[in-house]
Structure 1
Amino acid sequence: MNQSVGKALRLLQLFTSERPRLSLAEIARMSGLSKPTAYRFLKALEEEGVVTRSSINQDDKQYQLGLRLLELGNFVAEQIEVRKIALPHMENLRDEVNEVVHLVILDRGHAVYVERVETDQPMRLFTRIGLRTPLYVGSAPRLLLAYMREAEREEILSQLKLSPYTESTITDPDELRKVLQEILEKGYSISYGEYVAGTLGISAPIRDHTGNVIASLTIAIPGDHFSQERTEHIIARLKRTAGKISRECGCMFNY
């Protein structure tokens, strides 16, 4: 990659949900660039609409990501064919179970939430479209990890640092491998409070025309909305819906 392009992209990655606005001084410090160099990159990005200034105060320029990124992000989302196919089925599933439904895919060693269908319930979950999470924590990421080719899965497992997000996060490699094998045997993944305390996650695989798993269809249930009977009810409908989406993606696998 051209060094200038790489530096510009790294500047964009400095912005997060925790720090949506940054000053020139902060960007220079965090990137390791001099202020004049950082300003030159920011000016070019600003001209393309990728970043914008949120203040006209010359002594305190604040930068934030521009709307051009939202436009490009929408283009990327539209290119994800499984998202288009899955969305109406996700809405139907949401109506059946009255819980939030997610679509999660694998991207560069992480799980990425690419679609979300809300309910009218007042309780909100800490998930959003674009959220990236490690593959060992939660039902959706772990399902994607379980269905990888064995060599690829083992390579990722050897590199993972199993840090806890909650008291329920699996941090023992042997226990994680056991859970991954159980996912393959059952055909679905389930977790409780591993990424967000008090939340039950249930996920089923979506396959393409080759039979490979390309996405995870996930229901997230907050608080005390679940019981054993209701969980079994939701698993059945989740697997049925994942099967419908898979068949529309060309899969002949018998769910």
Structure 2
Amino acid sequence: MNQSVIKALRLLQYFSLETPKLSLADIARYSGLTKPTAYRLLKSLEEEGFLTRNDHNPDDKDYMLGLRLFELGNIVAEGMELRKIALPYMERLRNEMNEVVHLVILDRKEAVYVERVETDQPVKLFTRIGLRTPLYAGSAPRLLLAFMKESEREQILNEMKIAPFTESTVKSIDELRSLLDDIKANGYSVSYGEFVPGTLGMSVPIKNHTATVIASLTVVIPGDNFSEEKKSEMISQLQFIANEISRKCGYCL
């Protein structure tokens, strides 16, 4: 592997919604590189359009992500057939339930939110398209972990370190294993306030033509006072829509 290319690409990972601008000193500190090395890599990324700087303001020379990444991101988004298939069904589910609907996939041992359909309710959630979360917290990440191949799941569990987001976040690997067993047995996943207190998350699997779980269809609802009957009704709605999406992906029920 070309180590210079790898080092340069890793610098892009330090940018986020919380830190959209970074100085040379910031990037050198985060990466552990010397300033001359970091500058050389940043300059190459800037020349190719992956980074940009505001040269019109001498007081603001921070780096920002460039439009080339926006272009490439759109190509990736357009190429995600699952996302295009699922979106109209997600909108239908949103219209029926008037709740936020997510599509979540597995990527590099993390859950990634690749689509989100909003509601007109004033609900403040932490999620956004492109968000990555660990696999132990939340109904969607846990569902993806539960339906992985056993050998892959065990490898992840053996390497996993749990850091709680709220008081409701799972506390131990043993507790997590028990939840994963329940998810596989029941065919759905439920979580209570694991990222945002006072919210209920419900997730069901989407499968492809090989019956492999390729995504989670998820609804997040404000409040935590739901009867078992009401939750059962909503999960049935979710499963019906997820089955429709799965059929479009080649799965034969």
Q: TM-score range by the shorter chain?
A: over 0.9
Once structures 1 and 2 are overlaid, which stretch shifts more, 87-96 or 62-71? 62-71
Instruction: Measure the CA separation in 2 of the matches of 1:126 and 1:162.
Output: 19
Q: How many residues are aligned here?
A: 253
Instruction: Calculate percent identity across the aligned residue pairs.
Output: 67
Deviation, structure 1 residue 227? 4.4
State the TM-score, normalizing by the size of structure 1: 0.94
Q: Return closer, same or farther for 1:231/1:247 CA change in 2, 3 Å cut-off.
A: same
* Whole-angstrom CA distance in 2 between matches of 1:107 and 1:125: 22
The 5-angstrom pairing of residues 204-223 of structure 1 reads 204-223=204-223
1:55–1:21: structure 2 CA closer, same or farther, 3 Å change rule?
farther
Secondary structure, aligned partner of 2:26: helix
Please state if 1:194 is matched with 2:194: yes
Show the counterpart of 2:2.
Answer: 2
Q: Is the 8 A contact 1:125 1:222 kept in 2?
A: no
- How far apart, in 1, do the equivalents of 2:204 and 2:168 lie? 21
Deviation at 1:9, TM superposition (A): 0.7
Task: Output one character per residue of 1:90-139: Cα deviation in whole Å (capped at 9) or x when no partner.
Answer: 00000000001000000000000000001111222110000000111100
The CA RMSD over aligned residues, in Å, is 1.6
Q: Which residue of 2 aligns with 1:76?
A: 76
Q: Secondary structure at the match of 1:22?
A: coil
Gaps of 5+ in 1: none
Deviation (angstroms), 1:83 = 0.9
CA contact (8 A) 2:143 2:203 kept: yes
Partner of 1:64, secondary structure, is: strand
| Unaligned segments of structure 2, at least 5 residues | none
Distance 1:26 1:162 in 2: 28
Please identify runs of 4+ aligned residues in structure 1 that moved more than 6 A.
none
Structure 1 residue 225, shift from structure 2 partner: 7.8
Give the counterpart letter for 1:113 in structure 2: Y
Cα deviation, residue 194, structure 1: 1.2
Of 117-126 and 242-251, the range deviating more from structure 2:
117-126
CA distance 1:174–1:33, shift in 2 (3 Å)? closer
Is the contact made by 2:126 and 2:195 (CA closer than 8 Å) also made in structure 1? no
Q: Is the 8 A contact 1:143 1:204 kept in 2?
A: yes
| Structure 1 stretch displaced more, 11-20 or 187-196 | 11-20
Equivalent residues in 2 for 1:152-191, closer than 5 Å: 152-191=152-191
Q: Deviations over 1:60-88 (max 9, x none)?
A: 51111112212211211222221111111
| Equivalent AA in structure 2 for residue 67 of structure 1 | L
Distance between the aligned counterparts of 1:38 and 1:138, measured in 2? 37
Q: Describe the SS at the equivalent of 2:234.
A: helix
TM score, norm. by length of structure 2: 0.95
* CA displacement at 1:28 relative to structure 2: 2.0
Moved more, 106-115 or 188-197: 188-197
